[in-house]
Structure 1
Amino acid sequence: MKLYRIGIKMLSGSRTPMHSDTLFGSICWAVLYLEGEDRLKLLLQNCKENKPAFIFSNGFPRGFLPRPAGGNYTTGFSETSSKSEIMDYMKTAKKIKKISYIPLDDIQKIILGEKIPLYSCEQPEEASIHWTTHNTIDRKTGTSLEGGLFRELYRWDGDLDVYVMAEEEWQPLLVRCLELISFWGYGGGASRGRGAFEIEEICEAGFKTPEDPNAYMTLSRCIPTPEMPVPCQYRLDVKYGRFGQDRGRVGYPLKKPVLMLEPGAIFWGKPPECGWCGTMAGELSDEYSDALQCGLSIILPCKIEPPEWGA
């Protein structure tokens, strides 16, 4: 499997951040539409047997990756710092806490074992958030319903980088699926023109990895397995997944909640040779026994000093 970077330009706001598991689900619906049910069943069965044909990352601001949960940072503060240095550090501590992304050049240094000054990291522009007011229309009369006003939140992410690790035989179909999703729209509100995007480029990711890595970093929302190393640092999120397309329009649209690790988790141990980690979660719906949540994650081998408790 090769790792590629896909440059995406958002053409409209979306109600849904570009998460790896949601993007995987969108691709599955596109496979069903383009190739049929048998092809989709084969894809999902291979994923459950730890033979995925492709794995997506989250969508990250162009030229950035998530801040590693544990990393080679310098903060400008040490036990020997002077009083003035400590005061300067206190002024920047709040800024450091807010740093969510690291430029690719600095990420490359972290991967290879070099320390970077965290407080000087450039940050991408934040996604702009907009509230949009809608009116509910009475389908019988074609007029507005009394009390039918409601508001929805939309985000505009601009230019994004999405990474995908894919088997060669699946690459043409993946491109077709992404083109179809760009036409459909991604995430919530797609039927109203939300989540439209275009693919600007597809190229090899080109990360340089150390010869003797002692850790690895995740790029996707991950469901860990018992085989993954215990020494780790991560950020958690509870995913309240929704069914897409036809299943989201009838019955109960929500899956059972799943606890997932955010991209940027660091695990200290030998990186898997396959280039990915995690697993698929099942038993998420009483209505659909075949419902799954993708917790497979792309990894980047790293050379990162472990924290004192993990040394």
Structure 2
Amino acid sequence: MRLYEITLRPAGALGTPLAGDTLFGQFCWQAAYDPGLLTGGLEAQLARYGEAPFTVFSSAWPRLTLDGRPAYAVRRPDLPLAWLSPPPAGSRLQRLLHLKDVKQKPWLLLAEDLRLDFSRLMDDAGLYDLLLAQAPGEVQRLCRRAGGGRPVITLPQPHNTINRQTLTTGKDRFAPYTQEVHFYPPGVELAVFVLLNEAATDLDRVRLGLSRMGRTGFGKDASLGLGRFEVVGARELTPPRLEDANALYTLAPCVPAPDALTEAFFNPCVRYGKHGDRLATSKNPFKAPVVMAAPGAVFVPADAQALTRPWFGRAVTGVSLMQRHAVSQGYAPVLPLRLEVPHG
């Protein structure tokens, strides 16, 4: 599979985070309406998805320009803090303060070569300043006046359902409620890393599908104007190679096969999926919950051959009662790393 970077620019708030498995699901709906996006059509590709994925999407990560070169902010690997940055020699208090400082840095900067360097951990304020520095001066001034200081701001959005008989809100289904929306600083660009099987599709077709998603709206409350984005660039990348790699770092939610691991370091997340498009109004639009490893997981595969592939995980089937052949992306693009356990 070949690796590409597709750059998105959000045009407003997102009701659903741009996660890899969710991007895959919406791309499948695009392919369902436009069979030309996938060679042989969607059903043919899904039939062999468990053995040969036609595309694997990463989640969207902030994209920066540092010293004239692209860089990316991804999630800090879910490893013990002392493995990421060994505490210096000193008192127990000094070691604990050091680990506390590391814990407050949830981001890891990647250079253009996508090699993992644990010395480049960063906190929210530092990443926010880097992102804001790329915005026009007037935008910087307004953002600093507004405060926030986080690269992704999540806020509750109030909603009302009006009872047409009383022309007001009320109880039960007419009670006001809130839903989370996610904002990035103005002008921020996001990078999605996409692995493509060239026999099934190509960059132009995937870019077309993403562009349509951005115009009509991605995820929750797209009909209210959320989830708009623009595709502003795309290019091929060389997957990083590491001769002495013994572990893999994930760039999207992942579901590994039960016997595929010898060690795993991850934060679990549960995807309470829901059908989109015309199945969103079906008798049962809800999918079965899927337990996934959140992005930033580190896996030590049982098969050394897995270290040579740019993806890891498996297809997740049996997630829908309304659509028997529906699958979820349990695959994730991965970066190789050398995992060493510090002594002492």
- TM category (shorter chain) comes to 0.7 to 0.9
Kept in 2: contact 1:213–1:271 (CA 8 A)? no
Secondary structure of the residue aligned to 2:111 is helix
In structure 2, what is the equivalent of residue 161 of structure 1?
191
Asked if 1:276 corresponds to 2:279, the answer is no
Instruction: Report the CA distance shift for 1:230/1:155 in structure 2 as closer, same or farther (over 3 A).
Output: same
In structure 2, what is the equivalent of residue 104 of structure 1?
110
Secondary structure of the residue aligned to 1:284 is coil
In structure 2, what is the equivalent of residue 305 of structure 1?
340
In structure 1, what is the equivalent of residue 99 of structure 2?
93
Distance 2:4 2:268 in 1: 26
Asked if 1:130 corresponds to 2:155, the answer is yes
Distance 2:235 2:227 in 1: 23
Instruction: Report the CA distance shift for 1:144/1:204 in structure 2 as closer, same or farther (over 3 A).
Output: farther
* 1:258 alignment partner AA: V
In structure 1, what is the equivalent of residue 46 of structure 2?
44
Distance 1:152 1:164 in 2: 29
In structure 2, what is the equivalent of residue 60 of structure 1?
61
* Unaligned residue ranges in structure 1 (runs of 5+): none
Kept in 1: contact 2:256–2:313 (CA 8 A)? yes
Secondary structure of the residue aligned to 1:17 is coil
Distance 1:117 1:7 in 2: 22
Kept in 2: contact 1:135–1:144 (CA 8 A)? no
1:204, distance to aligned residue in structure 2 (A): 2.5
Instruction: Report the CA distance shift for 1:107/1:100 in structure 2 as closer, same or farther (over 3 A).
Output: farther
Instruction: Report the CA distance shift for 1:279/1:174 in structure 2 as closer, same or farther (over 3 A).
Output: same
1:107, distance to aligned residue in structure 2 (A): 8.9
Distance 1:20 1:250 in 2: 24
* 2:60 alignment partner AA: G
* 2:46 alignment partner AA: L
1:162, distance to aligned residue in structure 2 (A): 0.9
1:200, distance to aligned residue in structure 2 (A): 1.6
1:288, distance to aligned residue in structure 2 (A): 2.8
CA RMSD of aligned residues (A): 2.8
* 2:254 alignment partner AA: C
1:188, distance to aligned residue in structure 2 (A): 0.1
Instruction: Report the CA distance shift for 1:32/1:87 in structure 2 as closer, same or farther (over 3 A).
Output: same
Kept in 1: contact 2:19–2:253 (CA 8 A)? yes
Distance 1:135 1:216 in 2: 45
Kept in 2: contact 1:74–1:115 (CA 8 A)? yes
In structure 2, what is the equivalent of residue 73 of structure 1?
84
Kept in 2: contact 1:276–1:297 (CA 8 A)? yes
Instruction: Report the CA distance shift for 1:215/1:288 in structure 2 as closer, same or farther (over 3 A).
Output: same
Give the length in aligned residue pairs.
297
In structure 2, what is the equivalent of residue 212 of structure 1?
244
- Identical pairs, percent: 27
In structure 1, what is the equivalent of residue 90 of structure 2?
82
Secondary structure of the residue aligned to 1:41 is helix
1:44, distance to aligned residue in structure 2 (A): 1.0
1:296, distance to aligned residue in structure 2 (A): 1.0
How does the TM-score come out when normalised to structure 1?
0.84
Instruction: Report the CA distance shift for 1:254/1:90 in structure 2 as closer, same or farther (over 3 A).
Output: same
Distance 1:146 1:208 in 2: 55
Distance 1:238 1:6 in 2: 26
* Unaligned residue ranges in structure 2 (runs of 5+): 64-71, 129-149
Distance 2:225 2:122 in 1: 39
Secondary structure of the residue aligned to 1:230 is strand
Bigger shift: 284-293 or 178-187? 284-293
Secondary structure of the residue aligned to 1:8 is strand
Asked if 1:5 corresponds to 2:5, the answer is yes
In structure 2, what is the equivalent of residue 24 of structure 1?
24
Instruction: Report the CA distance shift for 1:176/1:108 in structure 2 as closer, same or farther (over 3 A).
Output: closer
Q: Following superposition, which runs of at least 4 residues in structure 1 exceed 4 angstroms of deviation?
A: 106-109, 117-122
Kept in 1: contact 2:106–2:123 (CA 8 A)? no
1:82, distance to aligned residue in structure 2 (A): 2.6
Kept in 1: contact 2:153–2:183 (CA 8 A)? yes
* 1:65 alignment partner AA: V
* 2:23 alignment partner AA: L
Kept in 2: contact 1:209–1:302 (CA 8 A)? no
1:276, distance to aligned residue in structure 2 (A): 1.4
Deviation string 1:26-45 (CA, Å, 9 cap, x unpaired) is 00000111127971101211
How does the TM-score come out when normalised to structure 2?
0.77
Deviation string 1:194-215 (CA, Å, 9 cap, x unpaired) is 1000112112234542223222
1:118, distance to aligned residue in structure 2 (A): 4.7
* 2:195 alignment partner AA: M
Deviation string 1:18-72 (CA, Å, 9 cap, x unpaired) is 1111110000000111127971101211212x11111001112222122122386
Instruction: Report the CA distance shift for 1:94/1:133 in structure 2 as closer, same or farther (over 3 A).
Output: same
Distance 2:14 2:108 in 1: 24
Distance 1:283 1:109 in 2: 36
